[in-house]
Structure 1
Amino acid sequence: MPETTAPAVRAIPPLADIEAARTVVARVAQPTPMETSRFLAEVLGSDVLLKLENLQRTGSYKIRGAYYRMSRLSDEEKSRGVVAASAGNHAQGVAFAARELGIKATIFMPLGVALPKLQATRDYGADVLLRGSTVEEPLQAAAEYAAATGAVLIPPFDHPDVITGQGTLGLEIFDQAPDLDTIIVPIGGGGLISGVASALKQRAALEGRSIRVIGVQAANAAAYPVSLANGVVTEIRTSATIADGIAVAKPGLLNFEIIRELVDEVVTVSEADIARAILVLLERAKLVVEPAGAVGVAAILAGEVTGTGKTVVILSGGNIDPLLMQRVISHGLAASDRYLKLKIMLPDRPGQLARTAEIVAEANANVIEVLHTRHGRGLQLSQVELELSVETRGPEHRAQVVQKLRDAGYDPRLDTD
């Protein structure tokens, strides 16, 4: 894996700079609520507060760093316009900030970007150009556009102004929960956590105490654990993840320096953990949170963080495509043992389908989908394959359903696809 030497300069923005940025950012970013979660408090064993940046304007915290960076451009730079690349939240933040500041914005997005994110970016007034199938291709296209036109490239995380702007969220959190012990923050490139950690650590130090900062990455796109272990910024090969908002293959140089100095721990969560967290937030907190924004809750549910004291979890965004939400809910139900898919070989004679449905009903489970076929691979001429999707109430009930079918002489196979 290629490595990059980190800069020697101290990257942490001074507290005074973050406090000054707060006044600027307040022109566009609204203070977001902080809600108590009794369910997560029971899981963690200490108080848990949710910081609802999913309710922020444009649907995420990104507007803070984007607006602050662009507010500091000279009149000459503003006249050249700005350009950015993003699969969603950064695009919307830049587009909104550009509209508020009267700057022309061009945004490069991947071809497969979710329609709601694409439309929202256009509705904020940006010119959107689609390039490539991954975020790396739009990033390259944006850099080439900046070089060719003179437009100012607005990076998503690796810039002092962006970090300082994101740090304003840390000040807001400290005001709302001054006695917090731990904060849990999603990590992609590192812009949010480097800003929040800078603000909180410095504010706490003025009171002679410390605040623990824990970062969370999706296991399929976890560049920070590798980079921190190596001691330098290290690019990794990412795998597909539903948390596309934090799917970054290489940490920012400035962000890495701050995180290495200020962040106490970085943990990872699986795709199933993330899906389960989204479902919990929907059911328990009545909150719509995108996968990248739910990784902090996923870390609590997965037992990746412990002994944290009073804990704040940042829900960093709520921009989720309804089609993805549908798939995520299905995965979340399965991860919570509340959705069971079974394949059963049956004799090809009348009454077998009705009998299996009766057994499931006797177990007080609900069949929500049935596929009955004679054409499955490995089937004999006298067999059919029954695929049942069943709604269950949890691990014990799921096991009871399977056992009831086995007691009736069937051989149900769990389908994990």
Structure 2
Amino acid sequence: MLDVQKIREDFPILQRQINGNPLVYFDNAATSQTPQIVIDAIVDYYSNYNANIHRGVHTLSQEATDAYEKARKIVQQHFNAKNSYEIILTAGTTHSINIVATGFTTLLSKGDEIIVSALEHHSNIVPWQMLCERTGAMLKVIPMNEEGALLMDVYDQLLSNKTKLVFTNHVSNALGTVNPIEEIISKAHKAGAAVLIDGAQACPHIKPDVQALDVDFYVASAHKLCGPTGVGLLYGKEEWLNKLPPYQGGGEMIDQVSFEKTTYAGLPHKFEAGTPNICGGIAFGVALDYMNSIGFEKIANYEHELLEYGTKKLLEIKGLRIYGTAKHKTSVISFNIGSIHPYDVGSIVDKLGIAVRTGHHCAQPIMDFYKIPGTIRASFSFYNTKEEIDALVTALKKAILMLS
């Protein structure tokens, strides 16, 4: 069992009060909170060895380079990539997806087909639409059912020898649905297609093994994993990363430059043009070490307890409907209460110190499927408690009285 009260002491922001009430932070699917050990790593970098990496012979540059590359190794080991150079440190999940989508411009032709799922975040829809506009490829969609699960029999029908790429999230940010990515990857490969998995929402709850999954690309963001914003990863199999052209030109990603011709650096630097978010990368490694010290199995088990408890308590509220009731879920509950607009509920519970997310959660097609403007989303992390869920329920009942 987790010692949740001890864990909460690691997070300074959880001691805050909002509008005179203790902070209850249930917006973890957007951004997790940051433990003191990660904050200290950022301060330490800027206080003691702030310098550019890979380019200097002086001591500070060497120290910064060593710390940054150590973080890359931590990320490699966490995701079980075969080689550290298969880990590209990026600005986050969106940046990672766009690297791949842009790179495939040179690999697709008119009439080729790519598949996404109906459960995607806009970041895993728009780049592929742009890719189709550039190449003439066709975008196809795996539909979902009322429970928020993908219709895998339709996926089987969509796959063909025209399918070149399949993209889906590991976990839906809007509903918490855990997608059957092992099956998705295996079937795509049998059709000769490459697969990218958006792991932004899965990684706080599940420890992915990219080799066991046999996935071609896997992307995630540090700020979902107790790390800082503005940094993330793109894992790609070496063979695929070598096929893709560089995403950006500039310093660091070159081998030789002349006005006649430029040759590019090898992996991972080919995709890391310019000065990176050095302290962010270092802090990402510290955040992964912190979460691994707690244990992802313990985290998953505890968060499942919170999910079950929260689901039971919320369903006791008259008129409350939960969207996303698939059998396999992470600790996300999206809901509405009668005809009350989610924004109004979110505003009132904020006055009581409770942070929830309201809106379409960058997943507008899901809201269109349910014919709603958006939902109230409560997303739980391993530092949350059942008492905080009780506080949410109490706050919702007050909001209903005010808005009915």
Asked if TM exceeds 0.5, the reply is: no
Structure number with greater CO (CA < 8 Å, separation at least 6) is 2
Query: Which of the pair has more CA radius of gyration?
Result: 1
TM-score, length basis structure 2: 0.33
TM-score, length basis structure 1: 0.33
